[in-house]
Structure 1
Amino acid sequence: MHIVIMGCGRVGSALAQTLEQQGHTVAVVDQDPTAFRRLGASFGGRRVTGVGFDQDTLREAGIEDAGAFAAVSSGDNSNII
């Protein structure tokens, strides 16, 4: 299953790594490109820099093929959207 994760903090990066290890394809979206360092060099998923509720950003992350979306950014208002 393809999964899109919004937020690459401690929770988002750990979730992305776990899901990828379980055989899922994963795309992580974050506004801060330096946040992707938390994923480590072995992460094979997509890293998408942008706003996690922007339609173009979500399309770039493969939302149209996703079976799940996790909103785990540090902003509650963004997560609700």
Structure 2
Amino acid sequence: MGKAGGSISNDIRALRFAANEMTQQALADQVGVTRQTIIAIEANKYSPSLEVAFRIARVFGVPLERVFRYEGSAD
């Protein structure tokens, strides 16, 4: 079996700007996490829990797949 690999990317920054230039702090407040968490998620340095991912999508009123993408390897 090959080693599983892949990465999660997101469009949070673009969604924030489309939402009246929402600040990272405003998003963090609505999702219930810290601004530092939003910064790390936006920079693809941290993958949120499924619950947090759904909360972020709900804030923007879009499906989860509009916020996050998973690019996995074919291994």
TM over 0.5, shorter chain: no
Q: Highest relative contact order (Cα 8 Å, sep 6+), 1 or 2?
A: 2
More helix by percentage: 2
TM-score (normalised: structure 1) = 0.30
Which structure: larger Rg? 2
Query: More strand per residue: 1 or 2?
Result: 1
